[in-house]
Structure 1
Amino acid sequence: MTRVLIITGDPIGPRMAGPAIRSWNMALALAEAGNEVTLMTTTKLQPVDAPFELTLVTPGENDAFAKLEQWCDVVVFQGHAMRQFEVLRTTDKITVVDIYDPMHLEMLEQGRELARATWELRVTTATEVLNEQLALGDFFMCASERQRLFYFGQMAALGRLSPTTYENDPHLEGLLSVVPFGLEGTPPAHERDTLKGVLPGINADDKLMIWGGGVYSWFDPKTLIRAVAKLAETRDTAKLYFLGTRHPGVDQMGIVRESHDLATELGALDSSVFFNEEWVDYADRQNYLTEADAGVSTHMSHIETTFSFRTRILDYLWAGLPMVVTEGDSFADLIETEGLGLTVPAQDADALAAALDRVLYDDAFIAECKRNVARVREDFYWKRTLAPLVNFVANPQHAADHAETRRRGVALGGKVPKPYGLRHDLRMAWHHLRHTGVTATVDKAVARLRR
């Protein structure tokens, strides 16, 4: 039996988003394999039943974290944990780094609406955090073959692709494995009515498109809203529902208000386009998905798209939904190749409206898509996608170049500024005062105090 500590920076509780859901299912899989597991969040922990230990340790609680680090054999983490807890840079424990989210690429889009200096700071910080992890970790998990090739380039630049790591593992599968986001093996059940015949404006016999997950700046909900408004001119039963706009761990982005405003401008708000102003409980999302007729996901064309892994697509597979998505990412390739729905060019409202019409009203095409979805989704059950992690933990070992990575960690020592505490707060306050002004700085301080 291996003692495993899993760390996520997302809130754990009834309402969870992608990183927390992924960590939760890692904990489940490892516990079911006979390991002793503790799942730790650095932000917020709410009461929820779990067949493993749950704990909250916030950045700066170094004594509490030191006890967990001493207890475990393997640490699995994602996000900023290595930057937040200095001991992870020099630990003798085996470290597994989950890099399914290329957060430096994500920040290129997410930071667009920030002041230029803040945007550059966010991208630089995310890059430094990932470089540090890639330089020091023992085993890495990404979400797709595209990501694997991308990260190999970054790791090569950091010296991790060396004779030492290559000699007995020429494909480097023991260093970096593809561990996609997964879905539950038990099909979703419809336990209560949520939208059709319940939400004013959505009738029991309407054709419902669902946008799973949040609304973020790297997506393109506005082209979708235009397409739905256009489709509604001839198909008054076509309805679109955004499942969540208030992420439990991320501040609401400007694109949410822009989407509301556009739907209002087009006369589509609460007639053909609907928004959930909160976040659906993780266990309750099945009731929404099982009322849907199609899943949708639209995004812009940029580098973040190329290497992204849209986890909401897994919920569409789970619910057996035909899909319409923007072309350009790895899931779009899968949808095209396996006949799971349709892909459309970025920002083409006419093509999108035509595709939506087909997945909602072409019965023969819908039946074909559903047969294909039922076949393909088996490849994404958590039990299958998490197999590389479960196998690694069954026989955990340091990377072949561990001696060298240990020297790097010791050399870093305390040189990296801590992302918490009074000095960090003062440093960031000064940054925002210089680049965004007094009002914006005060607003940020008030928002933080309310969390």
Structure 2
Amino acid sequence: MGTRILIICRGYLGSHMSAPGIRATAQASVLARHVPDAKVTLAGTNLDFEQPEDGAYTVTRWNARNILQLVAAHDIIISSMLPPHVAGFFPFKRFVVDLFSQYAMEWMEVGMQHYEGAQRRAWVERTRTVLAMQLTFADFLLTCNERQRDSYVGMMISLGLISPRVYDADPTLRRYIDSAPHGIRPELPGTGQRVLRGVRPGFAETDRVIIWNGGIIQWYDPATLLEALRILGRDDIKLLFLGASYPGIKELGKGVRFQDAKAIAERNGQLNHTVFFEEGWVSHELAKRYVQEADISVCCYFDNLETRYSHRTRFVDLIWAELPFICTHGDVLAEEVAQNTWGIVVPEEDPPALALAIEKLIDDRDFLALCRANLAASRASLQWDVTMKPLIRFCSETGTTLSPKWERIPGLSQRIGSYIGRRAVFNFHDRKRERRQRQQMIARRAARAAKAGEGG
């Protein structure tokens, strides 16, 4: 019997996937092709999934009731976040934790938007213990780039996970933690049915189209882009924000940045004239039509630690479509943009610089063609079969893991207990917040009713 591999996806699977679902689905396909005799199961949280047409792997649903049965039935378990109650299988299974983001910094930004005071501190402590548990759980770890890998190696050292035994076995630590960047779509870009010019109201045949490829969340900066377009003052340049609410991730819905962007666009007279918003989440299949029809893409964000350790997965479809783009400096892919001339890198919160970059990329046809050619040349190195080689290698190997499980059992037990305690503290503060919000809502309703009564 071949190796039984379970991929536990924390995001939405199916037509409207964002990065977690896209990555998990690609991993299932790659492992089914490249691990000899593997039987791969991809598990998601939603019910409306479809089985792959080629039958290469099986898709199912996981929840708190069936997760133990799923783990028991497989040899290798892969997830970005392993639930603590599968720890009973720790001595008997091989676990891969796919840390394709620097979650400590990402969650710090999420907490800034959603929580405050004691609850925000509880959120940070909860997320810190989550990561410590994941790092200890993992027999093998993946990151999306070398900068992320360095940060996680530092965390592993501080947790005592890099013992002399581990280091002597592999001084590079590549058998313990390696980089596996987000890959591109396997098919070549082509022509398809139009979705913007001459189809969507407001988009004329002669317009130049800018795509903001993805949602608008805490660490992004749409205000700078809107101001740059106001400076340019060109009615022939149309901007479409392609995503709003992330599928299956309530913390990344239509937050402050999204609402502020719409308010700014309306105040500038841009809304539904030169600036447009998709209110939901465009399907994975439909998204490629948008990026193929656009002239350029722009993504602005802030130069903070989330940016430094990020791997902007929204850029991957731009590379696939050979769509030149403008981005803010500070992250790994921005360095690639500058080095490989995939587009233009601009300083953060600098509307005039961004306006000049947009004008050059849109109007300088020779430069645009150069960027497209350079993007096309990068295609081979970004195929999922190439980027997932470290995962293929681990899943194809047999025998003991680099880090002995007996060395990690005491730390894992302590960190699971710490996580459960921190989660209880956070949930206590969360219930207090919900009660406070309900009381405020009742008070507002009472005030409106009283005011209406006075008016009567």
Q: Check whether TM > 0.5.
A: yes
What pairs with 1:97-116 in structure 2 (closer than 5 Å)? 97-113=97-113, 114-116=115-117
- Structure 1 distance, partners of 2:401, 2:78, is 13
Cα 1:441–1:104 change in 2 (3 A) is farther
8 Å CA contact 2:122–2:422 kept in 1: the answer is no
Cα displacement (A) at 1:409: 3.0
User: Aligned pair count?
Assistant: 433
- Structure 2 distance, partners of 1:430, 1:186, is 47
Q: Which residue pairs with 2:175 in the alignment?
A: 174
The residue matched to 1:55 in structure 2 has which SS?
Answer: strand
- Structure 2 distance, partners of 1:441, 1:252, is 24
- Structure 2 distance, partners of 1:328, 1:208, is 25
Q: Which residue pairs with 1:150 in the alignment?
A: 151
**Which piece of structure 1 moves more, 185-194 or 267-276?**
185-194
> Structure 1-normalised TM-score?
0.90
In structure 2, what residue type is equivalent to 1:71?
Answer: A
Equivalent of 2:63 in 29, 44, 58: 58
Q: Which residue pairs with 1:203 in the alignment?
A: 204
8 Å CA contact 2:169–2:402 kept in 1: the answer is no
8 Å CA contact 1:418–1:424 kept in 2: the answer is yes
Q: Which residue pairs with 2:301 in the alignment?
A: 299
- Structure 1 distance, partners of 2:13, 2:27, is 13
Percent identity, aligned pairs only, is 30
Cα displacement (A) at 1:89: 7.1
Cα displacement (A) at 1:413: 6.2
Equivalent of 2:370 in 345, 368, 371: 368
- Structure 2 distance, partners of 1:70, 1:166, is 31
What pairs with 1:250-261 in structure 2 (closer than 5 Å)? 250=249, 251-261=253-263
- Structure 2 distance, partners of 1:440, 1:298, is 35
Q: Which residue pairs with 1:95 in the alignment?
A: 95
Q: Which residue pairs with 1:313 in the alignment?
A: 315
Q: Which residue pairs with 2:345 in the alignment?
A: 343
The residue matched to 2:420 in structure 1 has which SS?
Answer: coil
Cα displacement (A) at 1:398: 2.1
- Structure 1 distance, partners of 2:72, 2:110, is 36
8 Å CA contact 1:228–1:273 kept in 2: the answer is no
Cα displacement (A) at 1:171: 0.5
The residue matched to 2:269 in structure 1 has which SS?
Answer: coil
Cα displacement (A) at 1:66: 1.9
The residue matched to 1:240 in structure 2 has which SS?
Answer: strand
What pairs with 1:238-317 in structure 2 (closer than 5 Å)? 238-250=237-249, 251-317=253-319
The residue matched to 2:110 in structure 1 has which SS?
Answer: helix
8 Å CA contact 2:210–2:294 kept in 1: the answer is yes
Which one has the largest radius of gyration?
2
Cα displacement (A) at 1:436: 5.9
8 Å CA contact 1:229–1:272 kept in 2: the answer is no
8 Å CA contact 1:27–1:38 kept in 2: the answer is yes
- Structure 2 distance, partners of 1:53, 1:438, is 46
**Unmatched tracts of structure 2, length 5 or more:** 445-456
Q: Which residue pairs with 2:22 in the alignment?
A: 21
- Structure 2 distance, partners of 1:299, 1:412, is 34
- Structure 2 distance, partners of 1:188, 1:350, is 33
The residue matched to 2:152 in structure 1 has which SS?
Answer: helix
Q: Please state if 1:139 is matched with 2:144.
A: no
What pairs with 1:38-57 in structure 2 (closer than 5 Å)? 38-41=41-44, 43-50=45-52, 51=55, 52-57=57-62
- Structure 2 distance, partners of 1:91, 1:254, is 44
- Structure 2 distance, partners of 1:129, 1:426, is 14
Cα displacement (A) at 1:188: 2.7
Cα displacement (A) at 1:415: 6.0
In structure 2, what residue type is equivalent to 1:403?
Answer: W
8 Å CA contact 2:132–2:415 kept in 1: the answer is no
**Which piece of structure 1 moves more, 3-12 or 247-256?**
247-256
Cα 1:185–1:391 change in 2 (3 A) is same
Cα displacement (A) at 1:238: 1.1
Cα 1:280–1:402 change in 2 (3 A) is same
